[in-house]
């Protein structure tokens, strides 16, 4: 039986920070990332792809506001916006990957699944929203928006670029349709799932699923999915070939193969920033500690090397 790998695309896989984000730019970056997945197929992996959605869902929220202000088109809640981004990004990855497979004479189906992820309505994150989404506002604009809708919470950006809406980021508890994802993957299909961390839902007192205003960390959701479908490897693709300690400081050191215990020690010492490598390290630890084989953090261009990246093992 072939091995299963979950591959989490980082933000730079689709969009660079200094770009407008045109469809041509995003399609080119998607193609450039996906072509390196051929190395995993040659290494006899069946693949599940997950991805981020930060810039894209931010743009959807901007369209939300513009449509409401100009034409009174009803605003859609955040869970619907996340689902919209899953569909659009999944379609883009699916099409570019299918083109690559055809070019390389590889017969495989590629399918995108809109994926709901269950969270706990009692998660402490709902009492202290921290995840910024959407546009930057002047302080006065943020205050007016808060007055018009008390459910909107704004905080000043750490870089002093303005005020942004913040929403809860609860931990993922269950990937819905995980059995379907596993079955499709075991049959050799390439599945794109849990985009943007998944659409956040919770179960009410009647066990009905309800959408909720939140976002789920993409790497934590990907780690959970990898565990739930029995993946042997979890690849986190980012914009650096390896993880470093003392990053950009004197005595910086590249990490190659480390244990979970070493990763936890480095994390406890504050080696990994909360806004960049921190969540990836936590997701890597989570996967391996809960029965996964190994987590590899690297950039897509390195996938041809069987010993690429930083490898976290038990």
In terms of C-beta density within 10 A (0-12 exposed, 13-18 middle, 19 or more buried), how is residue 149 classed? exposed
Q: Structure tokens of 182? A: 């596993």
In a domain? residue 15: yes
CATH number for the domain harbouring residue 19 = 3.40.1160.10
In a domain? residue 149: no
In a domain? residue 141: no
- Averaged pLDDT score across all residues of the chain: 95
In a domain? residue 157: no
Range of the domain at 241: 3-128+168-313
In a domain? residue 230: yes
How many distinct structural domains can be found in the chain?
A: 1
In a domain? residue 222: yes
Structure confidence by residue, pLDDT tens digits, 111-140? 999 999 999 999 999 999 999 998 899 999
Structure confidence by residue, pLDDT tens digits, 200-257? 999 999 999 999 999 999 999 999 999 999 999 999 999 999 999 998 888 889 999 9
Q: Using the predicted structure, report yes or no on whether residue 1 has a pLDDT greater than 80.
A: no
The pLDDT value given to residue 120: 98
Q: Using the predicted structure, report yes or no on whether residue 286 has a pLDDT greater than 90.
A: yes
First to last CA, the chain: 23
In a domain? residue 199: yes
In a domain? residue 133: no
User: Annotated catalytic sites, by residue?
Assistant: 11-12, 131, 218, 280
Nearest to 87, CA basis, from 37, 53, 47, 48: 53
The pLDDT value given to residue 65: 86
Q: Nearest 5°: CA angle at 298, between 224 and 296?
A: 45
Structure confidence by residue, pLDDT tens digits, 37-46? 999 999 999 9
How many CA atoms are closer than 13 Å to the CA of 280, on its beta-carbon side? 31
């Amino acid at each position: 039986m072939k091995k299963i790998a979950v591959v989490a695309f980082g933000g730079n896989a689709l969009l660079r920070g200094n770009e407008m984000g045109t469809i041509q730019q995003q399609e080119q970056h998607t193609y450039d990332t996906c072509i390196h997945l051929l190395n995993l197929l040659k290494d006899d992996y069946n693949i599940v792809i997950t991805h981020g959605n930060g810039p894209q869902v931010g743009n959807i929220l901007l369209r939300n506001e513009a449509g409401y202000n100009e034409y009174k088109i009803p605003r859609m809640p955040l869970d619907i916006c996340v689902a919209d981004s899953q569909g659009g990004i999944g379609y883009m990855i699916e099409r570019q990957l299918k083109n690559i497979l055809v070019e390389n004479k590889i017969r495989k189906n590629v399918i995108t699944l809109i994926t709901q992820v269950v969270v706990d309505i009692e998660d402490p994150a709902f009492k202290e929203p921290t995840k910024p989404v959407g546009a930057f506002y002047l302080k006065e604009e943020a205050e007016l928006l808060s007055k018009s809708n008390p459910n909107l919470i704004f905080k000043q950006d750490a870089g002093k670029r303005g005020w942004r809406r913040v929403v809860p980021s609860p931990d993922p508890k269950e990937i819905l349709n995980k059995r379907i994802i596993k079955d499709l993957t075991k049959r050799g299909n390439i599945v794109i799932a849990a985009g943007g961390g998944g659409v956040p839902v919770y179960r009410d007192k009647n066990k009905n699923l309800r959408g909720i205003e939140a976002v789920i960390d993409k790497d934590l959701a990907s780690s959970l999915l990898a565990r739930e479908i029995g993946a042997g490897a979890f690849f986190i693709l980012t914009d650096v070939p390896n993880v470093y300690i003392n990053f950009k400081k004197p005595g910086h050191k590249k990490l190659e193969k480390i244990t979970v215990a070493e990763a936890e020690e480095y994390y406890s010492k504050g080696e990994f920033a909360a806004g960049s490598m921190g969540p990836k390290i936590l997701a890597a630890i989570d996967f391996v500690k809960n029965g996964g084989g190994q987590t590899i953090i690297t950039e897509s261009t390195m996938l041809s090397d069987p010993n690429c990246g930083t490898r976290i093992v038990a």
